[in-house]
């Protein structure tokens, strides 16, 4: 049985949300087009929107139940919600914002949260004296101190620029690793969800349109259509090795079993040497070739593998390539290319891409955090 079961029916004007979900204990990334019902789902679970039907169970224990707009008030649901705009009290210090609504009987220690989110130097500041990333960390800390059993993140990174995202994302990982809270995270940025989530939930028109990890979800034609229209990307975990004199960052990718893979080069590198990173690519940026290759090709990065499957849609074919890495390489090609290269399960191929087509994003340093941290960024 899945750890988290959600039955949600919400009708607002002409919009109808109807979901029956079975999710794991990890982080579920909720993705879909604008107006699909992503934030409606989170706000209804949290008790901020009336629901025609709402039932949430965790490990078989009832967490929320209500019908026809009735149900436990928001503060009694055991649900923590973090908004994209922080919603801190502007007249209260960071410490008083953190302690607002804190639960002393749910086993979450104030000092531990402060150290985990690196907030100690901010405690006496007002929110206006904090950066956007710092305010978001305070909002996350406030939600944790309420002792929730389920954490909801509604676009927690959307108001941050790329630099601030890079600061906040490791903290989101620390929170999950330390507290192991089942989490629903809504984002319009698919690469953010893929970096932070254990599985994806696709919503379109108030209905579930797909569920699973990227390897699973991209075997469904309708899910691929939805993802491709929203900027489908994939990431390959690895470790930042060095920068060369030209500014390229060299990353060793992570093979299944933890062995080191051949190095790849990235032109956009937001990481330091030794950081755990992910190399982010779009399927349209991958060129597939059948060996043997001409050694004089200019493409910098080459990964050998075999075709795992081909998912056909109305406009494209998505080829899954198993290169022995933790995640598959996805390549978007035409039907003609599939036929000409005889791309079918088991076909040996080489996946090539330019350094300029990829970027490496830090997942957090592999070095130990400063004293007092309870969690390790991965």
Whether the CB-CB separation of 165 and 131 falls below 8 Å is answered with: no
Tell whether the model's pLDDT for residue 167 goes beyond 80. no
pLDDT at 344: 95
- The first and second tokens of residue 218, run together, are 């991209």
Best CA proximity match to 364, nearest among 35, 116, 47:
116
As a whole number of angstroms, the longest Cα–Cα distance in the chain is 68
pLDDT range class, residue 124, cuts 50, 70, 90: very high
Tell whether the model's pLDDT for residue 368 goes beyond 50. no
pLDDT tens digits for range 187-221: 888 878 887 888 999 999 999 999 998 888 888 88
Q: Helix H segments across the chain? A: 38-46, 94-99, 110-116, 132-145, 162-179, 190-196, 214-217, 221-228, 335-340
pLDDT at 247: 80
Mean pLDDT lowest for which of 122-131, 256-265, 268-277? 256-265
Q: How far apart are CA 174 and CA 119, in angstroms?
A: 14
Tell whether the model's pLDDT for residue 378 goes beyond 50. no
- The first and second tokens of residue 232, run together, are 């489908």
pLDDT tens digits for range 235-246: 888 999 998 888
Tell whether the model's pLDDT for residue 161 goes beyond 80. no
Q: Domains of the chain: which residue ranges? A: 4-212, 234-364
What is the fold, at CATH topology level, of the domain defined by 4-212? Rossmann fold (3.40.50)
pLDDT at 69: 67
Instruction: Look up the pTM and report it.
Output: 0.79
pLDDT tens digits for range 27-36: 999 998 888 9
- The first and second tokens of residue 1, run together, are 């049985």
pLDDT at 43: 92
Give the mean model confidence (pLDDT) for residues 111-128: 93
Whole-angstrom distance between the N-terminal and C-terminal Cα of the chain? 28
pLDDT tens digits for range 95-107: 999 998 787 666 6
Q: Which residue has the higher pLDDT, 373 or 274?
A: 274
Tell whether the model's pLDDT for residue 138 goes beyond 90. yes
pLDDT at 106: 65
Residue 282, SS3?
coil
Q: How far apart are CA 263 and CA 242, in angstroms?
A: 11
Give the mean model confidence (pLDDT) for residues 338-353: 95
Whether the CB-CB separation of 239 and 277 falls below 8 Å is answered with: yes
- The first and second tokens of residue 331, run together, are 């390549």
pLDDT range class, residue 257, cuts 50, 70, 90: low
Q: Which residue has the higher pLDDT, 41 or 259?
A: 41
Residues recorded for the chain:
378
Whether the CB-CB separation of 162 and 270 falls below 8 Å is answered with: yes
Can you give the C-alpha Rg of the chain in angstroms?
22
pLDDT at 265: 92
Give the mean model confidence (pLDDT) for residues 272-300: 87
Two domains, one topology: 4-212 and 234-364: no
Mean pLDDT lowest for which of 3-7, 119-123, 258-262? 258-262
- The first and second tokens of residue 337, run together, are 């290319």
Tell whether the model's pLDDT for residue 90 goes beyond 90. yes
What is the fold, at CATH topology level, of the domain defined by 234-364? OB fold (Dihydrolipoamide Acetyltransferase, E2P) (2.40.50)
Q: How far apart are CA 166 and CA 334, in angstroms?
A: 35
């Amino acid at each position: 049985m899945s750890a988290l079961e959600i039955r949600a029916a919400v009708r607002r004007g002409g919009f109808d949300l109807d979901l029956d979900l079975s999710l794991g204990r990890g982080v579920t990334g909720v993705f879909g087009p604008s107006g699909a019902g992503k934030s409606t789902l989170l706000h209804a679970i949290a008790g901020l929107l009336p629901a025609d039907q709402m039932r949430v169970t965790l490990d078989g224990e009832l967490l929320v139940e209500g019908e026809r707009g009735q149900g436990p008030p928001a503060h009694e649901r055991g649900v923590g919600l973090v908004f994209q705009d922080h919603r801190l009290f502007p007249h209260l210090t960071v410490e008083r914002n953190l302690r607002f609504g804190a639960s002393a009987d749910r086993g979450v220690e104030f000092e531990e949260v402060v150290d985990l989110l690196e907030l100690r130097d901010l405690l006496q500041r007002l929110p206006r004296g904090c950066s956007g990333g710092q305010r978001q960390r305070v909002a996350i800390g406030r939600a944790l101190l309420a002792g929730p059993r389920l954490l909801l993140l509604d676009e927690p990174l959307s108001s941050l620029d790329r630099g601030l995202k890079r600061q906040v994302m490791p903290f989101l990982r620390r929170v999950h690793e330390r507290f192991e809270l089942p989490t629903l995270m809504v984002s319009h940025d698919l690469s953010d969800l893929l970096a932070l989530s254990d599985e994806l939930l696709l919503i379109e028109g108030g209905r579930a349109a797909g569920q699973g990890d990227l390897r699973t979800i991209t075997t469904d034609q309708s899910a691929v259509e939805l993802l491709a229209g929203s900027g489908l990307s994939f990431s390959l975990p690895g470790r930042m090795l060095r920068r060369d004199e030209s500014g390229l960052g060299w990353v060793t990718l992570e093979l299944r079993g933890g062995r080191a893979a051949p190095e790849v080069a990235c032109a956009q590198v937001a990481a330091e040497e030794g950081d755990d990173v992910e190399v982010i690519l779009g399927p349209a940026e991958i060129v597939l070739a059948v060996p043997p290759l001409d050694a004089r090709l200019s493409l910098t990065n080459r990964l050998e593998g075999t075709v795992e499957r081909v998912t056909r849609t109305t406009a494209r074919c998505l080829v899954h390539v198993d290169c022995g890495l933790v995640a598959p390489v996805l390549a978007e090609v035409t039907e003609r290319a599939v036929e000409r290269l005889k791309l079918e399960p088991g076909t040996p191929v080489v996946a090539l891409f330019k350094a300029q087509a990829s970027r490496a994003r830090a997942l957090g340093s592999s070095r130990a955090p400063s004293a007092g941290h309870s969690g390790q960024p991965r």
